[in-house]
Structure formats: structure tokens, C-alpha cells
Amino acid sequence: MEGKLIGILIYLGVIFFLGYKAWKKTKESTDYMLAGRSMNPFVLAMSYGATFVSTSAIVGFGGVSGMFGMSLLWLTFLTIFVGVFIAMVFFGKRTRRMGLALNTHTFPELLGRRYKSKFIQQFTGVVIFVFIPVYAAAVLIGICRMLEVAFPAISYHYWLIIVTAIVAMYVITGGLKAVMYTDAFQGSIMAVMMLILMVTTYSLLGGMTEAHQALTDMVNLIPAKMLKGGLVSWTEGPNFKSPIGLTVYTTIIYGVGIGVLAQPQLAIRYMTVPSDRELNRAVAIGGVFILLMTGVAFITGALSNVVFFNEFGKISSVMAKGNYDKIIPLYIDKIMPGWFSGLFLVAMFAAAMSTMSSQYHVGGTSLSRDFLEQYVEIGNDGSSMKLNRLGVTIAIIATLIWAWLLPEGVIARATAFFFGLCAASFLPIYVLGLYWKGMTKLGAKISMIGGFSFSMFWLLFIHLKEAAPIGLCQAVTGKVTLVADAAPMSWLWLMQWVDPNVVALPVSIILAVGASLATRRMEQDHLNLCWDGLC
């Protein structure tokens, strides 16, 4: 117990020092929102990766892999290939250059100025501000569940307040410079701990081959309910035409793996470097980091079934009493050596704080810069920073409220929800805005509103995981979902497990292209400004 506490105190000392250092260097709104456009490739890569991968990935999705097995490694592939390589090489450079040409400071401002539309900037800002606290709450829940296991004398709800207060202190004052400096430090800690976790887990099971074979041989221990739901084995992918298969492939792998491209807290990082060279150098660092984070978490989560069974005669889901958010915390607390549990707790603290700080920052600036500043007259740079700090404070409070209210086992679901919503709402107008001069203002508006609306409709009336607890469909139609009465295991009935993004993203793309082809092209002078330096 004392070792864990000392480790956290040392870690917090470094964090507050870095936050203070950033605060001293934050003089203008560009410093607060874009870290002065002066970050080096290592800081960029580690900040990008630490923002992308947090306790929601390690604890939440790691726990899901304990339930559903190693099929989640497809998400690791997508996060590296799409989330790092495609994002930085094909999106990052053009985003940085267009953002510089249009003098933009936030993701909504980039979209708004690309299409010369205050509505697009404001709508994007409001969507981010309203929904990113749900994602941030999932991260906050993840670390507080670990702290609850490590320090049972302090209740979960007290940990929510304590962790929120710690992150708030340096994000509100230091802005994006503080976020990125601390991210780089925190990401380094995370990488080392995950490497140790992987080596230790395989050592406990006699090696890599032996560990995977043991997991394969445990097929007879899969609960009947999970077999009926479509799980085949913990080392094989689930049956695609099943509730579990559709959840894994559409919500977790597709929804998160593609949705990463439209994440505002990641896209803004492309604008924090002085040139394309830093983005090129960050690709390799970011790829290795994401492999260590997600790959190790998903492998360890699946293999925890073997370790738990060998030690306690129970599989992971039984050990966690059905709450997969507790699988990884229990694994660390009950299986790993005492010295490691303290260090890993620090790493998870780092993972949570690095992501939450970015979420608070992007949510707050979306409210202040992209919405409030459109209606409030800002006299100078100092007033703008004060408004940004107010926005960040409001985002932090909203996150705490969500974390207090959300039920157990929600980490992975809340993360996938935000990724999918961003993809359906913003991805088509973001990608086409970077690459296609024929994309119009009206096309962007129709695509954005259509994608958002279709995604929310599917979530509230079709997708069982959200429709059931929210209850709007039940109240309006008398049915849990609109397809609940379809023949069991028919494709119509299985739509209840198809992620909203699978349907909403294609709809949003079709609306963007169709409406743009049918409307007048934007002024050539404006397009020349947007493409300045792109070709």
C-alpha cells in the first residue's frame, strides 16, 4: 500500500512540475490551444498515442477481450494502420497545412473556415462539447475502478472527485502545452509497464506458444450464454452472424478503428508541429506505442482466463462477476507481483490523465472558441484565454457528472459510441474537405446533420445496448427496439447489435457527395486559400 502511494506521489510531482513549466510558457491563445505550433516528433507521437489509448482501451477493451477473446487484436491492426499511418501521412499533413493557411486553432474552426460557415463550426463545437464528456467519463471510470481495487479504504465516488481535481489543476492553467508535455511523460511510463506486463504474463504461462494453446484448450469452459451469443473460442473470432460477433466486429473493431480518423482531440495535434517532417518521424514512434498499448492489453485480457483458472478455478468473467471493467484491475491486483501492481497503477493513472486532459481541453475549447466566442465580444488575447479556461472548467464538471451517473461495464461502450458519432458526423466533410475542391458548404451541412441524426436515431431506436437503458423507443413505440419483434437470429433481428456507425457513415458520405454535386461550387479564391501549400 505504501509503495503504491509513494509511486503516485512521485508521479504527481513530475506532472505538476511539467504543468507549471507549460503554464509559464503559455502567453497567447495559440499557446493554450495549439501548444505554440512548436512540438517535436517525440512529444507529438507520445501525446497522440497517450490521448488515443487510455484506461478505456487498457481497462475497458482489455476487459472485453477477457470476455470475447483475441479477436480484438484486429482493432490493434486498425489503430496502427488507420489511426497512426493513414491518419498522420494522409490526414495530418493536409490538416496542418490547411489549418495554417486558414489560421485555425480548433477542429471545429478548421471545418467552419474550410466551408465558410459559422453554423458548421458551432454545430461541430456543440456536438463535441456535449458528447465528449461521456467518453471522458469512461476514462475517468476506468482509473477510479483501479484505484478502488488498490485502495479500498477510499470509495469509488471519492476517487472520481480526487482524480478530477488533480487533472483540472494543470489542464485549466497550462492548456495544450501542459497536456502534451505531461502526455509524453505519461506515455513513456505506460509503454514500459505494458512491456513488463506482457513478458510477465507469458512467463506465468510457460511461454507464448504454451499460453495460447492453453487458452485454445479452454473452449469447454466458455459459459453457455456466451456460446449461444456467438463466441466460438477465446483464440478465434466469434460467429459474425451473432450478437457477440456483430458487437465485436461492428462496434469495437469497425466503430473505433475507423472513428479514430475524426477524433477532434487527435486531429488538433497535427497542427501543433512546425512542419511535415515532425509528422513523418512521429509515425514509427506512434505505431510502436499503440502496438504496446492495445496489443498487450488485448492479449493479456484474453490470457487472464487461463491465469485466473489456474489460480482460482474461475474464468475472467466469473472473477469480475460479469463486470468486464474489473477484469484487468483484478488481474493486476491478484496475479501480478506487489511491486508491479504499484507501478502499473501509476501507468494507468498516467493513461487516464493523458486522455482526460486532452478531452477536457478539446471539449472546453469547443464550447468557448467555437460557440461562445461567436456571440461574446473578445477584446484581447487574455480575454480569449479566460473564456477558454471557463469552457474547460465546464467540460470537467460535465464529465464528473456523467461518471457519477453511468452504470457499470460502460467503459468500452461509451468509447465506441463517441468514436462512431464523430465518424458519422464529421469524417466525410473532414476527408472530402481536405481532398476534394468540389465539396460545398450545403453538402457539408447536409452530410453533418444527416450523419449525426441517423446515428442518434439508430442508437435510440435500433441498437439494443443503448436503446434498452435509455428507454425512449420503449416509451414511444412500446418496444425495446423497433426490430425487437423480428424472428430471432434473422438479419432484421440482428440489426439490434449492428453499430450505428455501420449504417450512418455510408449515409453521411452519400449525402455529402450527392448534395455537393447538386449545388454550386465554392468560390475559387477561397479554394485557392484552402489549398495554399497542399499541391
Structural domains of the chain ordered from first start:
2-377+386-463+498-530 (1.20.1730.10)
Task: Measure the CA–CA gap between 48 and 46, rounded to whole angstroms.
Answer: 5
Give the pLDDT confidence of 490-516 residue by residue, as tens digits: 889 999 999 888 899 999 999 999 999
Residue 373, pLDDT above cutoff 80: no
Q: What is the pLDDT of residue 51?
A: 74
Looking at residue 105, what DSSP letter applies?
-
Mean pLDDT along residues 90-100: 89
Q: What is the pLDDT of residue 32?
A: 58
Q: What is the pLDDT of residue 83?
A: 86
Residue 337, pLDDT above cutoff 70: yes
Give the pLDDT confidence of 220-261 residue by residue, as tens digits: 999 898 999 999 999 998 999 899 999 899 888 888 888 888
**pLDDT band with cut points at 50, 70 and 90 for residue 144:** confident
Task: Measure the CA–CA gap between 111 and 123, rounded to whole angstroms.
Answer: 10
Mean pLDDT, the chain, rounded, equals 84
Residue 31, pLDDT above cutoff 60: no
Task: Measure the CA–CA gap between 304 and 63, rounded to whole angstroms.
Answer: 9
Q: What is the pLDDT of residue 245?
A: 92
DSSP SS3 for 98: helix
Q: Which three cell numbers stand for residue 132?
A: 465528449
Q: Minimal CA–CA distance to 418: which of 131, 22, 137, 10? A: 131
Least confident of 28-32, 84-88, 327-331, 464-468: 28-32
CB 501 within 8 A of CB 258: yes
Find which of 54-58, 169-173, 388-392 is predicted with most confidence, using mean pLDDT.
388-392
Mean pLDDT along residues 9-24: 69
Element (H, E) at 304: helix 296-312
Q: Minimal CA–CA distance to 488: which of 233, 239, 223, 243? A: 243
Least confident of 1-5, 63-67, 242-246, 341-345: 1-5
Residue 342, pLDDT above cutoff 80: no
Give the pLDDT confidence of 380-428 residue by residue, as tens digits: 555 666 777 788 888 889 888 888 887 766 666 777 788 888 899 999 9
Residue 19, pLDDT above cutoff 80: no
β strands within 403-464, DSSP E: none
Q: Which three cell numbers stand for residue 453?
A: 441524426
Q: Which three cell numbers stand for residue 299?
A: 492479449
Q: Report CA-CA distances (Å) from 314 to 17, 214, 227, 331.
A: 44, 14, 17, 12
Q: Minimal CA–CA distance to 242: which of 25, 503, 62, 68? A: 68
Residues recorded for the chain: 535
Give the pLDDT confidence of 303-317 residue by residue, as tens digits: 999 999 999 999 988
Higher pLDDT, 323 or 117: 117
Q: What is the pLDDT of residue 367?
A: 82
Q: Which three cell numbers stand for residue 180?
A: 502534451
Least confident of 13-22, 23-32, 83-92, 384-393: 23-32
Q: What is the pLDDT of residue 274?
A: 80
Q: What is the pLDDT of residue 411?
A: 67
Least confident of 26-40, 150-164, 229-243: 26-40
CB 293 within 8 A of CB 58: yes
Q: What is the pLDDT of residue 360?
A: 82
Task: Measure the CA–CA gap between 230 and 233, rounded to whole angstroms.
Answer: 9
Helix, strand, coil percent content, the chain, rounded in steps of 5: 80, 0, 20
In terms of C-beta density within 10 A (0-12 exposed, 13-18 middle, 19 or more buried), how is residue 475 classed? exposed
The predicted model scores a pTM of 0.84
Residues whose CB falls within 8 Å of the CB of residue 310, separated by 6 or more in sequence, listed in order: none
Residue 379, pLDDT above cutoff 60: no
CB 96 within 8 A of CB 277: no
Find which of 1-10, 204-213, 281-290 is predicted with most confidence, using mean pLDDT.
204-213
Residue 472, pLDDT above cutoff 60: yes
Task: Measure the CA–CA gap between 243 and 55, rounded to whole angstroms.
Answer: 25
Q: What is the pLDDT of residue 535?
A: 60
Query: Half-sphere exposure (CA, 13 Å, Cβ side) for 346?
Result: 25
Please write down the long-range contacts of 200-203, taking CB distance under 8 Å and 24 or more positions apart: 200/336, 200/337, 200/340, 201/299, 201/300, 201/303, 201/307
